[in-house]
Every structure is written in structure tokens, then in C-alpha cells.
Structure 1
Amino acid sequence: MHEPPRRALRLRVTGIVQGVGFRPFVYRLAISRGVSGYVVNLGGSEVEIHVEGSPSRLAGFIEGLYLERPPPARIEELEIEEVRPQGFKGFTIKRSEKRKSKRSMIPPDFGICRDCLKEVHDPSTRFYRYYWNSCAWCGPRFSMMYTVPYDRENTSMRKYSLCRDCRRDYEDPGNIRRFHAQGISCPRCGPRTYVYTMDGRRLPVEDPVEWAAEKIEEGYILAVKGVGGFHLAALASRDDVVEELRRRKRRPTKPFALMARDCSVVEKIAEPPPGACSVLESAERPILLLPRRPGSPVSPLVAPGLDTVGVMLPYTGFQALLLESVRDGFLIMTSGNKSGYPMCTTLECVFTHLRGIADYVVAHDREIVHRVDDSVLRYTEGELVFLRRARGYAPTWLYSPEQLPDMVAVGAELQTAGAVAFEDKIVPTQYIGDMDEPGQVEELEKELRWFIEVYSLRPRAVAVDMHPGYHNRPLAARLAEEYGAELVEVQHHHAHAAAAMLEDRVPPGEKRVAITIDGTGYGTDGTVWGGEVLVASYAGFTRAASLHPFRLPGGDAAAEWPVKALVGLMQASGLGEEEVLEILRRRGLLSRDKLPHGELEARVSYRLAAAGKAPLATSTGRTLDALAALLGVAWHRGYEGEPAMRLEAAARGGRDHGYTPRLVQMEGRLVVDTRGLLEWVLDNLDRLPPADLAATVQRALGRGLGEAAARAARGLSGPVYISGGAAVNTLIVQGVREALKDHGLEARLPHRLPPGDGGIAAGQVLVAASRILGWD
């Protein structure tokens, strides 16, 4: 009988193919398909496979790569090359090599899978009540990686020698979940968990979970080490505990995240829409903002003034057991950091920065190599959008529409992530934080340098926001000088537009309309932008429209005290000083808790605005702040976006009365006339319910911007993009879509990056690339 000819293929696979059980899967697939050869991890996070066999067997093998891959694996690219057969008799997993043929994704951290959690609950397994159980399909990855390739010796698991049983599982090809699973461990050979007092003394605790549950039930606040950092765990149902946590953390109003035992508990405290539980139970395990259920047992102090709560499910065995051991079934599980500082990842940090905040510490002894905060998503107009992209999602990459040189971008000032780029890939870092906080620029530099090293980059350009005062500018200049790279300044809202266009891989040279709405961005004219309609390509943009400009008395102080922004908006609307003072007096807005120096400050603010001695702004954020103050919703910004978030919450159940702002011409662009909107509000303050007013003003801003975008889009193809921090506001997006629908246009939100400043670095990359590569 004639034997079919033997052929050989070399496959190079990129995507999420290291740290997800891919090599063991390839081994089993090769054995089942009757092909020989080897599989090996390479130093760019890619996998190389050499297979030999008949054409039909090779075809079956390649088909199986896609159809039977492990749940967390993602094949982004498969390069196939026919090579000379070498006569392999079997199939082997070769020791990882440092050579790099292609660059591939670095695996993110995954939540504990159902199988591992089942073992944690099963007394017959050696993993019973083992807090850090994981397998090839789940567990920490990026947060514990020193370098690539993803092998145990390149992670913080390398200090744990495998016991006999774990070694047997690790070497057993028939053990689907643990064969060559780099994070494998058990109570005998894995990370240990200890309990400490805040002065560093270790307590002799036999069962840290039961001990922690008892302390939390008694009202204590615990620092608990997780995957990417420490959380502060506390009861969420007792006002006194939540109030004490706020006092200790000096966090008066910013919402705390919750962790719930399972989706049945989530449904008791929130109203998850269809599909929300699938998101919560996914391997990424994000925090998801959900409408708060009326009568919820969660203390109102958890998220004061808001109609939502941020909830996640456990993503480690320890968290699952802890949530099962507390009566409520839910806890506060918020970032373990001192106000203004990064989340702690070490005991040294906890004993230094969380002294006076936490009462006790529960910590495992596995090193956290990369700080990775919890990711946060919300629903905007029924669509999932990122507020913070970190654990579970970072550092997966996005595809550029064109090939890129090696590049670095340092992002913006607030809610920042950086990015690196190469080939047709853009890799955003995990969420880092606000650059004006101590240690955050150093954290950004550490992460960017790590990505530069592991991807062997030689940056040709370093992109930075054009704002002259951003704290990451010296870092950008330092990197540019070190690598001999070009330093490229990028306008803030142009970067927002480019980041939104990236998700559709809009080709270079093509123009799109983007509505870019946020609090602050340094404009090309030196004023404060933030309510813009741009006609943009990656190479440049035209400012087609904006909100009506007004003065911000006191500059940054107007962002903290919304009444100051309101004074500026009223002055721009033509109201006289005494008229403004009378409105403020009648609305109770001159008290010291709403304006630190009362009437005097209001008068000085008005006169500064009238004299043109205050920054000129078209900011959506400050416009929303002003309206929030006027409607009695918010008078102080305790955290980024608070007044706008409270205004959105205040509109729940309100009726939109359909007001649409006029569009007027000013300095060569269309302007959404917010002066008329303010006049409408003042006319209806005592006539309409506050919820109606709140709903109408936000929808009205959206309608005005949408109408301006529709006019700018004449003659252009494609959707209108909405980006910037205010792009997550459901009511504004509804207004935009209502206006665009009348013109047959679609509005599109970003889904793979945060619309806010956490996604801006990716846009900076494309704008900088257009300049150095000469894209039209």
C-alpha cells in the first residue's frame, strides 16, 4: 500500500499563547492527530511548532489549533512555512528559548476557573481550601512575570519548588489542566498566607480566611493581598464602618468597589442588565458599575450621591472562601492605598502607608512584580465601555491600520496608561493612575521600560501631550534623549479622536468626525478645550465646533468648586454681577461649604471672568459641573468627574423636555450655545422636577454636539466617534445619537480602550507615527 508523502511545517503562533496551557494543548493535539515534531516557547511571547506527517494529518492538526484551543488562548496570527522533514519519531515540548522570531502578547491575569474553584471546595483533593489554586487556564500571569518567555523560572513562582504530586501533574501529558502549567502549586509547595498586626508582628493564625471573616464581621478593616496589589476589605452594610474607612482613608465621597460572593448576591444589591453576570463571571473578572437596587443592604455611604455601585466577583480562591464566610455575602474591596499614592504591593508599603487605615494585614508571600489594579467597566447606552483597563485585559494589544516604527507614548495627566508600539501592534500598559500623585510617574516609567525591554524595542519617537505642565513630560524627554528618538507633542483631543478611530483601524489619510468631550485638554490656541467636534485624520484635524467658551475663575479651583464654574458660565451668558449674586443667594450657593469664601469669592470670581483674567474654556466637564451646582446636585469635586457623575445619577427617572441648543458661528467654527441652555434652566428651575432638569440638560448637550457633528460630517464617510472622559455619560450619548439619527449617521463608542485618558496613549502613537512617517 502506497504511503502518503511526509511533509513538514514550521508554524509561528502569536496572540495569547504563553501562560494559557497552549504548549500542552499542542502536545495532546499532535499525539491525537498522529503528527511528530516539537513545540517551544520563544522569547517574544510567541510559540513555534514544527510538525511532520501526511498532508491530511497536518491539515487536521492546523484545524484543531483553532477549534480545540484552551479557553483563555487567543490565536492572533498563524504563520505557516513548509520546511524539510527532519524525521521526528514523536512529539515533544522543548525547553523555552530566548530567541525571538516574532513578538506575541503577554498573557494578562485570569480569574480562578470553575474547575480550580471546585477543587478548592472538594475535601477529597489536595487543593481543598488552598487559597492560590490555579491551572493552565487561570490564575496570575502578567502580575508575576519578570520577563518573557512565560516560564516558571521567569515568574515570582520560581521560588516555590514543586512537591512530588505537583511535579507528577506538571509532567503528565494526560493532565489537561496542569501539564506544563507554570503556576501550579498546592498547600505543600505554593505561596503561604500569613496574618500581621500593623506593627509587623506575625500572628499565629491557623485559618486566615476564617480569622479574617471574624475580624471583618466585628467591624475591623483589613489589608488583603490579592493578585495585583492589596485591597482594603470591610463591611459594606454598616454605615459606621464605611464612615470610619472614609475618615481613615481621607476619601470623603469617592465610591468604594464591592466584591460579591456570586451573581445571586449581586442581584440583591444591584440590578444587573441581561448579560451582566456573564461579564462578571468572565476570566477577566472586572468591576462592573450597575444600577443600585432600591432597598439594597449596601450602605449609601459606599457610593454617596450615585445611583450605581461597582461590583466584582472573587477571582482567587482566598477571595471566594472569604466571601462565603461573611454573612452579607458582599464586602467593600477597594484599592489598598493611601490617598494620592499607588496601591500597595508589598508589606513594607502596607506598614508604611496603610498604618492608621488598616487594622490588620492578610498577605501571601508571592511577589507582585507588576502592580495591576482592578479593571472597571460600565454600561453606556447599553454598551460596555472601559473606565479603567487593567487586570484581565492588560497588556493585550490592539492592531494599527499600518506598520509602525518602534514607539513609546506616555499618555495624559489623569487616569493614565502609557503605550508602546511596533510592527502593526499597539500595547497599552495597565492603568497607572494620576501623574500628579507621588510615585506614579516612576511607576509609568518602570512599566514602559519593562515593555521596551521584553519587546526589544528601539524607540524612534516618544509621544507626549502638548500641555506644558503635565508631570510626565520630563519622562518623555528623558526617554527621547536616551534612545535618540524624536519627541512628538500631540494635542489632547486629537489623541482622543485617533484612539477612537484605531478601534476600526481607520486607514491613514481618511478623515472622520469625532466628538471629544472631557474636563480639560490644552488647546492649540492656549485655551482649555473639552467640548469639541473635530474633523480628524491621524495626521491632523480641524476644529469644526465646540461648546460656547466661558471663563473659569481661579483656573484649577473652578474644577474643585463647581460654583466658580457656574459664575463663569453665567457671566458669559450676559448676566450682571448682582443678578448672578442673587441667583446664587436664592439657591443657597454662597455658604462656605459650597464656596470657601462665600459672597466675596463669588464677586471676585465674577469680576475676574468679566475682565478676561481667567482661563477660557469650552470644557464639557466644567459645563456639567456648573449645571450640577445650579441644580443642587454637587458643590465640591472630591474626585475626578464627581459632579458630572452625580448629575447623571440625579437624572434617573427624569423626563427629557427636548430642549436643543442653538448653533452659532464663532471664530470660524460652530458653537453649541450653552448660554441659551443656561437661560432655559433658570426659567424652569422652580417649574420642573430636578430629575427632569438634569435629564434635559445632559441630553441637550448631546443633541447640540450631535447636530454640530452632523454638519461637520457632510461629504465624509464612516461613523461619528465619541471619545473623552464624558463619552461614558449615557444621557449625552443618547442626545448625540438622537441628533445624528435625523441625518442618517451612526455614533460609535470605544470598546477596547477607555474613552477617557486611559486610552489616550494609543492615539498619541498614531498621531506621532503620522508625523514621522509622513502619512497624509
Structure 2
Amino acid sequence: MKRKQITVNGRVQGVGFRPFVYRLASEHSLTGSVSNNEQGVIIDVQGRSPDIDMFESALATRHPPLAQITELSSTDLDRLNHQEDFVITPSTSGQQHSVLISPDACICSDCAGEIIDPQNRRYLYPFTNCTNCGPRLTITRSIPYDRPMTSMACFEMCPECLNEYNDPMDRRFHAQPNACPVCGPQVWLTSNTGQKLAENNEAMLHAAKMLVQGKIIAAKGLGGFHLVCHARINRAVDNLRRRKHRPGKSLAVMVQDLQTADNIAYLNNVQKKILSGMEHPIVILPVKKPFPLSPLLSPDTDNIGLMLPYTPFHMVLFHHLRTISPQDMLPALVMTSGNFSSEPISLGNREALKRLSSITDLFLFHNRDILVRCDDSVVFAEEHCPVFLRRARGYTPTPVFLARKGPCVLGTGPELKNTICLTKDDQAYVSQHIGDLKNLETYEFFQEIINHFSDVLRVRPKAVIRDFHPDYMSSGYAEKTGLPVYQLQHHFAHIFSVMAENKFQGPCLGVAIDGTGLGLDKTLWGGELLLVDNTDLNMKRLGSFSPIPLPGGEKAIEEPWRIAVSFLRKLDVNRDKYPQGLKMMGQKLEIVHQMLDKNINSPFSSGCGRLFDAVSALLGLTQKIDYEGQAAILLEKIQDRSITEFYDVQSLESDIFLTLDTISLFEQINTDLMRQILPEIISRKFHLGLSHGICKWVMQASEKTGIKTVGLSGGVMQNMTIFQTLAKLLADNGLNVLVHKQLPPNDACVSLGQAVYGQRLLESA
């Protein structure tokens, strides 16, 4: 006989770990106890030595589906106890804890089966859950994850639910959101003025009928409100776009199952696995032709963002939709964030009624409070290399595990696609997508998340790292904290981030290609070749794209034709040889020429995104954008993928600085256009040429420095043509290529780079 104490750290609370341990101990005839505390799960176990060995082995390999073990340690105890059974003891808490907070998890197959079973007491109940599924982050106020610390605290369990909750052999043992129609949250439908129309199942049925009739509904979901309409009805989609002020950007669609998804888009096994996995993100997929849904859903691309129902609420809605829809009407619903463009997703009932009543025809409310806003995650599920566009529900707040421990630091992120990052030992907690910090509502959300993460992690940062740009709201927040504040230039933060994700330590070349970030020379960077050593914080700019003036500054980003003109002026192209689309600008064109001549409000930019904008405008694809990246999206869409030719892009060396000659690249494009080469061919030659040019650029730097590792980061890495082509070319040339696997390559990763830089900075002080 022997006795051991086993401590299990990680995501082990609120995921059914204690009942799992209880069943495992019973299986191996062991006595003792299991409890939660701030350090994780503490197991005191006693029995025959071989049984304890088998118990420990099973503990590490057979844990519950939502659990994630990061550390398992055991200590032999000298004294045996006289306990005759194995018990689960109540949770305790303290000021410090090393427990991972669980993300929200999609509905499990057991709960899904109960919802469609007419004999089950939870038949069509939209808040069904168990320890293997359901809300976590979005209803959690504090740690430990117990019911009083969640928004379910106000719902007193009925006797049947309480029996399940207290039974270690039941899968709802200590399922904190446990509820049923008798004692749990309820749903109701109202007009857009708040007048109640129906309750509970009648509300869900009536909502489905209204969707089939082309109405728009604001539905309260897991992490906020969705704006919902039928994806087959052009009129509904068009109304949603107009009312939401979202004219061109793609809309996500929820479909009932994988079979329906397969009717709409091309799916490989990797994409099917991610679509139906625990996280249930939106997956970007190539559409099938003829496209069976509204063409207004994704006008700028040949892709569509699809997701499957991830809550019982969605399942019930689709159940009713199937029963009332015409046979030829594929059940598919637009599910887009419940907000106006640029605002955070609406969270509370009163807030939604105030903010969304001009967009929606009806509201589908419920009375379970959402404590933390959380949008849907979006991912490209490419073979071997998923790429995040937005990381939120299902993934947050799973930490990025770092190569080493360090002090607690806060990274406040950039202005666009903002996230924040708090570090704790060797874990970096990057928040869900917050959005663009350009208005008070998003800034308040930003502050909410910093406060919430600090509270649930029980940490207080020793320093704050902000972007080099002093006028960002995130920079202003940092300066007001009263803590030591340090700056890190935007593109260096990108490379620190991709190195951190890959636990790479040492010198690394970095390709940071995006739209804009204030450079150390006060110009606008965005096409950068960098050297970063995260062990001694050595940072150097080795090269950039050719800098080009942006006539009108921010206006040039909104109107890409201005950047095309800037390139043409660099090439001394006569105005009468401009493409017709530029000539039609008339007086505006004259003003832009004067701005360039007199250097009025025309800051220089080396941004890769600005190059895409200029090429797109030159080819006549767009002269004015509705959303960030639209010009580049249109340019990638039209390329003729059968073409293998590419433009020759060279790098020019001056004083050891390597400039990628994008002006010469633009000249080749303009020459082809004047020769009336098709835009589809030009686009393909541009994408391939830029990829090959960047590869040669990096190889030149590698030869000079002897560094054989390169990190790829920046929003342009969301262009799948550039990303896949460049990563393969670099690997084929013998380099160790680091890419983002846990965070988006866009600005959402910047806060992680800031935070890990801050850790090293404090350690070296």
C-alpha cells in the first residue's frame, strides 16, 4: 500500500475533471479525495502500488474532452490514512492560481441528442449543457469556476438539476451552467421596439417563420448578439447590408450540418475537422458553382465563411427552420456580429435594443447575462497550416505557452484589430478580438477586457508595452496606468510575436508585411525586412519596400487610385498614358498631382498593403474601398492560377540597406497593362513575382548575416497566394520558416510581441 498527492495544472476546472478522477479512482479500487484549489486539481490517493501507477498513467492519457493538462506532479506521502472510500471535496480559492480558464465549447453530441429527443425533459431547450460543453469564458466573473462566480448564479436549480449536479457519476456533475426549462434561462421574441410577441419554444418557432419571410432578427447568442437573416433571400441580405452599413465585406453563414456545408463549398478533411471541432469557428472555404445561396453574401471573393451550430440555441432554431422551410430552400442563415461596422458586438438586452433597433425587425432575447463579449473566430483551414483571421470564441483565453517564464507584462496592442496580452510566468494570454480602437465604445470594451483578464488571472503587470505611435488610444491608455511604460515599433512586435508562438530563441530574420505602422524614422512602414534577436533584444531594420508618398495620407488608403498615381509619378509616366479609370478623376487628379509636386500631406510609406492597393486601382478593380483590405482581396480573386510566369523583382543595396524595388515591379505591371495584357494574368504575375522577389530579398540578408531562420508576419500573410508561395520558396531554399499557428498574422498578434519583449526588457534591466 502507498499514498500519493498528485497535483494537476492546466485547464482542469469546470471541465468535469474531478468526476473523471472519482470514476478513475473507483475503477482502480483507490481511496482518498480530489479537490479544486488555486493551484489546480489536488488528488490524495491511496491503494496498492500497481493500481496507483495505472491510475497515474490513465490520468495523463484519458482526461475529459475539454481538459488540457500542462503539468502533472506527484509526491509520496509517508502516512497512510484510514479512509474507506474516495470523495470529492469542495473547492477552495486563494490569491494566486495556476488554472487555465476554459474557452466556450460547442454543444456535445450527448446534449445534442437530448435536444432532439421528444421524450427528454430538455427537448428543444436552448440552454442545454453539461461538463463537456457549453459556456465558460463568456459567463465567468471570477476564478474558481463555480456557479456563484458565473452569470448562472441567479438561477436556482430545480431538484432534478440539483441531483445531476451533485452526482459524481452524472456527466452534469458540477456543470456550472446546468439548467432545464423548469429552472433555467428563458427566451422571448419582441418587435424592434421591445414589444413582447412570444416566449420560449413559441418564440423560437415564430423567429424561424419570420426568417423564412425575409425578416432580420437580432439574436442574443453566446458572446453577444448576432444579426440573422436567411442566406437564400437576396432582399433580406441586401436590407442587412444597407442597415448595418456594410456594403461589400463578406457575411458569415451558419448551416445545419457538414452535408449542407458540402453543398455550398469545397471541403477537405482538414476543413471538415476544424468546422466540426470543439471550437466551431467560421471557416473560409471556396464556393461551389452554381452558388446555392445569395450572391450578395460574398461579392468580392470566391470564398464563403461557413460555421456549424455551436449552441443548443442554434440547434433549436435550425430544427424549426427545417420544419417550416420549403423543400428547395437550403437551411442557411447569415450570422454576423450584432453591431454597426467599427463598433463592438452588442452584449446586453437593453444595449442591443438601443443600438440595433434600426437594423433589425425583431429581437430574440434571453435572460442569461453575457459577462464577456466574444465574437466568432475566423480561420483559413488550409492543408497543414491553418491561418487565423480572427481569434475569439472557442480559442480565447487559451494561452500561448512561451519558451521561458518571465514577469507579468501588459501589451496594449495597436489601433486596428486590437487585442491585449497579459503574461503570467510562461503563459501569454492574448484576448479575443477587440476591434479597431477608433471610437469610445471599442475603447471601453478594450478597458473591460484588461480589467477582466487581470481579475481572473489575478495578476498585476509590472510594466506596460505600447505601440511606437503616440496617438493610438492603446498608447494613451498605457501612459495613464501609472506603471513603467515602454515602446516597441509595430513591425518588430510582429516578429517578436511569431518567434514567441514558435518558442524560438535567438537571432531571426523577419518579414513584416502589412498596410501601415509608424516607423522609427517617423515614415510609414509596412514592407519590412528586419533582424530580431530576442535573447539580447538586438533589433535592426535591414531593408524595406520602395517608399512611396501617399497623397492625402489616410485619404490615400481609402482611395487607392491616389497611390497608383504616386507610383506613376515616380515612373514619370505622362498623364495622357494613364488608364482611363485614373483620367476620370478629373479635378481630383489635378489636386493629387499638386500635392505630390509640393509635398503637401503626402507622407512616405513602404507598406506592402499600399502596393496591393496601387496595383488594384491601376487595373481598375476599385478606386475607393469600403473596408480594409478590399483592394487586395479583389486583386487576389481575379488572378489566373494557370499562369506560371512572374515579374522580376530585384533588391537594391545602398549602405548595407536592402530596398525591394517595388517601383520597377509597378513599371512592369503598367507596361503589361498598356500592352493590353488581361488583368487576371497581371494579377497572377504580380502575386508570384512579389513572392519570388521577397524570397530573394530574404536570401540576400541570410547570406550577409548567416541567419537561417525567418519569421513571416503581417496582414498580407492572410493573402493565401503570397503566404503559401513565399513559405514554400523560403523552405525550399533551406531556411527555417516560422509562421503564426495560434494567432492571426495581422495586427491581432502585436500585443503578444509587445508583451514578450517587455518580459525580456524587465529581465535585462
Equivalent residue letter for 1:202: K
Pair 1:426 & 2:428 matched: yes
**Cα distance, 1:511 vs structure 2:** 0.5
Q: 1:589 matched to which residue of 2?
A: 582
Whether the 8 Å CA contact 2:409–2:462 is kept in 1: the answer is yes
On the 8 A contact 1:12/1:47 being kept in 2, the answer is yes
- Partner residue of 2:557 out of 553, 556, 559: 559
Tell me if the contact between 2:415 and 2:472 (Cα under 8 Å) persists in the aligned partners. yes
Question: How many pairs align?
Answer: 751
Aligned to 2:533, which of 503, 523, 537?
Answer: 537
1:512 aligns with 2:508: yes
Secondary structure of the residue aligned to 2:436 is coil
1:655-713 C-alpha deviation (Å, 9 max, x unpaired) = 24222201112454111111121111112124433222111112212221121111222
Shift in Å, 1:180: 1.9
Shift of residue 412 of structure 1?
0.9
Q: Distance in 1 between matches of 2:562 and 2:502?
A: 40
Superposition deviation, residue 739 in structure 1: 4.1
Give the AA of the match of 2:254.
M
Deviation of 1:72 (Å) = 1.4
Paired letter, 1:219: G
Q: CA separation in 1, counterparts of 2:41 and 2:471?
A: 43
For residues 130 and 570 of structure 1, what CA distance do their matches in structure 2 show?
A: 62
Q: Give the drift of 1:588.
A: 2.0
What's the CA shift for 1:407? 1.1
Map 1:252-651 onto structure 2 (within 5 A): 252-326=247-321, 327=325, 328-379=330-381, 383-479=385-481, 481=482, 485-507=483-505, 510-538=506-534, 539-572=537-570, 574-576=571-573, 579=574, 581-584=575-578, 586-591=579-584, 598-613=585-600, 614-651=602-639
Alignment of 1:699 with 2:688, yes or no, is: yes
Q: Which moved more, 1:98-107 or 1:115-124?
A: 98-107
Q: Distance in 1 between matches of 2:252 and 2:727?
A: 31
**Contact (CA 8 Å) 2:161, 2:179: kept in 1 or not?**
yes
Partner of 1:684: 672
Deviates more, 1:88-97 or 1:652-661: 652-661
Match for residue 190 of structure 1? Answer: 184
TM-aligned CA distance change 1:470 to 1:656, over 3 Å: farther
- 1:27 maps to which residue? 22
**2:155 matched residue in structure 1:** 160
Moved more, 207-216 or 363-372: 207-216
Moved more, 700-709 or 489-498: 700-709
Matched position secondary structure for 1:204 = strand
Q: Deviations over 1:225-275 (max 9, x none)?
A: 110000011011222221111111111111111101111111111112332
Q: Does 1:49 align with 2:36?
A: no
* Structure 1 residues 370 and 85: alpha-carbon distance in aligned structure 2, compared to 1, 3 A threshold: farther
What is the identity, as a one-letter code, of the residue corresponding to 1:501?
A: M
Q: Encode CA deviations 1:115-141: one digit per residue, 9 max, x unaligned.
A: 111110111211111111111100100
In the TM superposition, residue 590 of structure 1 has moved relative to its aligned partner by 4.4
Match of 2:698 in 1: 709
Q: Is this contact kept in 2: 1:494–1:540, CA < 8 A?
A: no
Alignment match, 1:220 = 215
> CA 1:240–1:696 in structure 2 vs 1: closer, same or farther (change >3 Å)?
same
Offset, 1:377: 0.4
Cα distance in 2, alignment partners of residues 243 and 583 from structure 1: 38
Following TM superposition, by how much is the alpha carbon of 1:81 offset from its aligned partner in structure 2, in angstroms? 2.7
Q: Deviations over 1:714-758 (max 9, x none)?
A: 354553211011112122124424542553224332011111111
Displacement of 1:49:
1.9
Aligned-pair distance for 1:417?
0.8
Q: 1:28 to 1:681 in 2, by over 3 A?
A: same
Match of residue 658, structure 2, among 634, 658, 670: 670
Contact persistence 1:663–1:671 (CA under 8 A):
yes
Mapped pair 1:71 → 2:73: no
| Aligned-residue offset at 1:83 | 3.2
Q: How does 1:104-183 map to 2 (within 5 A)?
A: 104-175=99-170, 177-183=171-177
Give, as a single letter, the amino acid of the residue that structure 1 aligns with 2:669. Answer: V
Q: Distance in 2 between matches of 1:674 and 1:95?
A: 65
Equivalent residues of 2:309, 2:315 under 8 A apart: yes
Unaligned runs of 5+ in 1: 592-597
Cα–Cα, structure 1 residues 379 and 620, in superposed 2: closer, same or farther, change >3 Å? farther
Q: Alpha carbons of 1:656 and 1:469: their partners in 2 closer, same or farther (altered >3 Å)?
A: farther
In 2, are the aligned partners of 1:111 and 1:139 still within 8 Å (CA)?
yes
Question: Does the 8 Å CA contact 2:128/2:178 hold for their aligned counterparts?
Answer: yes
- Tell me which moved more, 715-724 or 520-529: 715-724
In structure 2, distance between residues paired with 1:744 and 1:599: 51
Name the CA distance, whole Å, in 2 between partners of 1:774 and 1:603: 54
RMSD: 1.8
Aligned 8 A contact 1:535 1:541 in 2? yes
Alpha-carbon contact 2:270-2:381 (below 8 Å) kept: no
Give the direction of change, closer, same or farther, for the CA distance of 1:472–1:110 in structure 2 (3 Å limit): same
Matched, 1:236 2:231: yes
8 Å contact from structure 2 (residues 514, 526) kept in 1: yes
- Structure 1 residues 356-402: Cα deviation after superposition (integer angstroms, max 9, x where no partner): 10010011110000001000001457621111110000001112222
1:512-565 Cα deviation digits (max 9, x unpaired): 111111011111111111111111122132111211111111001111011011
Q: Is the 8 A contact 2:223 2:393 kept in 1?
A: yes
Task: Give 3-state SS (helix, strand or coil) of 2:446's partner.
Answer: helix
The one-letter amino acid paired with 2:635 is L
Separation (CA, whole Å) in 1 of partners of 2:258 and 2:79 = 53
Once residues 718 and 35 of structure 1 are traced to their aligned partners in structure 2, the CA distance between those partners, rounded to angstroms, is 53
Q: Is the 8 A contact 2:192 2:360 kept in 1?
A: yes
CA contact (8 A) 1:386 1:751 kept: yes
How far is the alpha carbon of 1:39 from its aligned partner? 1.7
Q: Describe the shift of the 1:72–1:123 C-alpha distance in structure 2 as closer, same or farther (beyond 3 A).
A: same
The CA deviation at 1:421 is 0.6
* 1:259 match: secondary structure: strand
Alignment partner of 2:75 out of 64, 68, 81: 81
- The percent of aligned pairs where both chains have the same amino acid is 34
1:472 counterpart SS class: helix
How far apart are 1:86 and its partner, in Å?
A: 5.6
- Structure 2, gaps ≥5 residues long: none
Residue-by-residue CA offset, 1:314-337 (whole Å, 9 max, x unaligned): 011121232243342111010011
TM-score when normalising by structure 2:
0.95
Further displaced range: 362-371 or 99-108 = 99-108
Alpha-carbon separation, structure 1, partners of 2:562 and 2:268 = 38
How far residue 456 of structure 1 moved from its aligned partner, in angstroms, is 2.2
Distance 2:708 2:85 in 1: 53
User: 1:257/1:437 Cα in 2 relative to 1: closer, same or farther (>3 Å)?
Assistant: farther
Are the aligned partners of 1:25 and 1:69 in contact in 2 as well (CA < 8 Å)? yes
Q: Does 1:36 align with 2:31?
A: yes
- In structure 2, relative to structure 1, the CA distance for the partners of 1:738 and 1:43 (3 Å cut) is closer
Contact 1:22 1:69 in 2 (8 A): yes
1:594 alignment partner in structure 2? none
Question: Does the Cα contact within 8 Å between 2:511 and 2:529 map onto a contact in 1?
Answer: yes
